[in-house]
Amino acid sequence: MFIISKCTRVLFYFIVFYEFIFIQNKQGFQYKTSLISKLMKRVDSKHGIGTAIAKA
């Protein structure tokens, strides 16, 4: 009985922390993609990529 409750507790904590880490990584990825899209907006067609690299 003790082993089953211990395994259940470990499994519960693993799921909770895994979900927390997964959500944190997902939010970080969305922030990175929005930042990259803002940096890659072209102000003018001639120097668009150069200004994006300079901003980064």
State the pLDDT confidence band at 32, using cuts at 50, 70 and 90: low
What does pTM read for this prediction?
0.35
Rounded Cα distance, 52 and 32, in Å: 14
Rounded Cα distance, 49 and 46, in Å: 8
Give the count of domains, the chain. Answer: 1
CA distances from 38 to 4, 44, 45 (A): 51, 14, 15
State the pLDDT confidence band at 37, using cuts at 50, 70 and 90: low
- Domain span at 45: 2-55
State the pLDDT confidence band at 50, using cuts at 50, 70 and 90: low
Q: What is the pLDDT of residues 8-30, one digit of tens each?
A: 888 888 877 777 777 766 666 66
